[in-house]
Amino acid sequence: MKQPFRRAKFIFFLAAFGAILFVWLYYRSNEPVKTANGDRYYGGVFSYSLPESLNSLFPLETNALSELRIISQLFDPLVKQTDSKGTIENYLAKEIQLKKDGRLVYIKLRKGVLFHQDECFSGESRELSADDVAFTLSVACSNNPLNQSGSLLIGKIRGSEAYFKNAVRPEKSYVSGIHVINKFELEIQLTRPYNNIKQLLTHPSLGILSKVSWGVYGKALREHPIGSGPFYIKSKSKSRVELARNEDYWKQDHFGNQLPYLDGVHVYTNTRLSDEFPMFSLEKIDLLFDLPVTELEKAFGTLTDAKKGKNLLHRVHIQKASKIHYLAWNLRKPPFNNALVRKALSLALDKNIICTDVLRGDGQPINQGFIPKSDYYSNPNLSITAQNTALAKQYLMQAGYSADQPFPIISFYVNAQQGSNAGLWCKEVCRQLNKALGLHLKLVYVSTKTRDEKIKTGQALLWKAGWVGDYPDAESYLRLFYKGSEENTYGVKFHNEAYDQLYLKSILTSSVAEKRMFQQACEAIVTNETAIIPVYSEDFFVMINLRVRGFSMNPSGIIDFSKIYLKTVQK
């Protein structure tokens, strides 16, 4: 008698559960979808890949573009560069003024800006305040190991040099020249009226930190960053970083839509070059950076594929950029402490061949100075150089190298994968120097982290380097050679007193014409001293899945992911 009753009871509960599930799914499916004005769309995940791992997501610790692209989504700056002409837009700063003949920077912050939700704010306010800005700028002037961007502000803010020298802890005290007026206002006293201070504040390394989060996590913020940007870190592993939408983000677009549109951004790390194109064609990633011309057919597909409708619908974005590639060396050690050796290597290279035959038009050879021409800078006064093998040999002999005293075998550190554009042109450099001068360079492929460690420890004598203008001013290149920046791993420990004096004049003058003149003179000194060998400049060449809309990139290579939205493409 008990068996039928139990069966009926089970059927009843199963039916009840099914009814509840049906009702839940019905109402779930009929929930209003978040819509946007202006033919924009919310939702979806945008993905791309990187050939390297991410070493740090702490803004002040890195100069790597791949890391700054992510950091700029997590942390907002006070002001931001918006176009190639150097236009600066207020961001976290609602108002910013230069007072007292440019010696005082007054900043008024936006109200209601919230840092990402995190348990560190338990009992504490998440709202951005002037204390957070004062703390961030003080960290940027400290000698904390996480601050690798000290050359931006040290010496410019009153008291910053003593602050660095005395190892003051930012959580205990701010730089003496930084004064908090109230919760949303502060002032910065400068040592001099620097004409580039607003441009410096656009630097992605100066994204504003939370003082509260520092007090809880400290150096762990390298892995657990907390900013006020449009996205936050949802998860992080050796192979993938997931960014998720910040529901509390303060910014809206011109249609009144709250940004960002995307639910998330996925970044695949440590991907092999040979895997990126299949991932793109299979729509596992939406974007390809720095596509080598040699791989175009793999990415675009053949004509036969196109006829069969197999090609992935895409578009190509070319951004006129400020990216330079160059050879750098340790100027303090032999053989590159000898200017004749440096001139010999420079004259032995045919940069035109590198760009036309090896890169197949991907880059423009730099045969005049090293700063790319832009809307805000050019230097027609410099002479144009070309390969001169005979003179190169003469310089090398004058430096003391001959058949009896051969040039040493030098390790050439290249932070790239074999087969990449960087690997190809560096291999060509070795071939040309061997053919012209009989030099033997040993190509050593390493990660960027390993390369930088070898530079810092003095083990590296020669390495491949690249630099992108961080902010809209020729000074973003020139500061690499100023004595205050000599510890920068991207620099070469260059020191020239005449250069330093001209550099200071260039950032202090109130005359635009004088500023340009001093900058041109600085570039001439670096060029004549062969402090580096600039090889080529490059525009950013990006392939994007056609479903990706709202994509934009500034001349520094930074992308605003908050304005990207996804739209289904009808095939």
Q: What is the pLDDT of residue 383?
A: 92
Q: Which residue is listed with tokens 């400049």?
A: 537
Q: Which residue is listed with tokens 């920046």?
A: 485
Weakest mean pLDDT among 137-141, 264-268, 371-375, 421-425? 371-375
Kindly tell me if the per-residue pLDDT of 290 is higher than 90. Answer: no
Non-local CB neighbours of 94 within 8 Å, separated by 6+ positions: 108, 109, 110, 111
Interval 543-569: pLDDT, tens: 899 999 999 888 788 899 999 999 987
Q: What is the pLDDT of residue 371?
A: 93
Kindly tell me if the per-residue pLDDT of 56 is higher than 70. Answer: yes
Kindly tell me if the per-residue pLDDT of 27 is higher than 70. Answer: no
Interval 426-453: pLDDT, tens: 999 999 999 999 999 999 999 888 998 9
Average pLDDT over residues 254-274: 93
Kindly tell me if the per-residue pLDDT of 200 is higher than 80. Answer: yes
What is the CATH number that goes with domain 57-220?
A: 3.90.76.10
Max distance between CA atoms of the chain, in angstroms, equals 111
What are the helix and strand counts (H, E) for the chain?
17, 19
Q: What is the pLDDT of residue 321?
A: 64
DSSP category for residue 564: -
* Partners of 410 in the β-ladder: 441
Q: Percent of the chain beyond pLDDT 70?
A: 87
Looking at CATH, the fold of the domain delimited by 231-318+540-566 is given as: D-Maltodextrin-Binding Protein; domain 2 (3.40.190)
Average pLDDT over residues 154-162: 95
Q: Percent of the chain beyond pLDDT 90?
A: 66
Q: What is the pLDDT of residue 292?
A: 57
Residues written for the chain = 571
The answer to whether 346 and 328 are in contact (CB under 8 A) is no
Q: Give the Cα-Cα-Cα angle 23, 25, 30 (nearest 5 degrees).
A: 95
Where residue 145 falls among pLDDT bands split at 50, 70, 90?
Answer: very high
Q: pTM (2 decimals)?
A: 0.82
**Gyration radius of the chain's alpha carbons:** 27
Classified as helix, coil or strand, 536 is strand
Q: What is the pLDDT of residue 282?
A: 86
The residue extents of the domains of the chain are: 57-220, 231-318+540-566, 321-538
Kindly tell me if the per-residue pLDDT of 374 is higher than 90. Answer: no
CATH topology match: 57-220 vs 321-538: no
> Going edge to edge, which strands form the sheet with 178-182?
93-99, 104-109, 185-189, 178-182
Q: What is the pLDDT of residue 28?
A: 43
Kindly tell me if the per-residue pLDDT of 412 is higher than 50. Answer: yes
Q: What is the pLDDT of residue 23?
A: 45
Structure tokens of 212? 């509260």
The answer to whether 467 and 323 are in contact (CB under 8 A) is yes
CA distance 75 to 89: 16
Q: What is the pLDDT of residue 556?
A: 82
Interval 493-507: pLDDT, tens: 888 999 999 999 999
Kindly tell me if the per-residue pLDDT of 395 is higher than 60. Answer: yes
Kindly tell me if the per-residue pLDDT of 486 is higher than 50. Answer: no
Kindly tell me if the per-residue pLDDT of 485 is higher than 70. Answer: no
Cα dihedral 140→142→145→148 (10° resolution): 40
Classified as helix, coil or strand, 134 is helix
Looking at CATH, the fold of the domain delimited by 321-538 is given as: Dipeptide-binding Protein; domain 3 (3.10.105)
CA distance 93 to 78: 5
Q: Which residue has the higher pLDDT, 361 or 415?
A: 415
Structure tokens of 75? 């942390």
Structure tokens of 213? 């989060």
Weakest mean pLDDT among 19-33, 99-113, 184-198? 19-33
Average pLDDT of the chain, as a whole number: 88
Q: What is the pLDDT of residue 87?
A: 79
Kindly tell me if the per-residue pLDDT of 420 is higher than 50. Answer: yes
Where residue 463 falls among pLDDT bands split at 50, 70, 90?
Answer: very high
Q: What is the pLDDT of residue 16?
A: 54
The answer to whether 131 and 173 are in contact (CB under 8 A) is no
Pairing of strands 410-414, 462-468: parallel
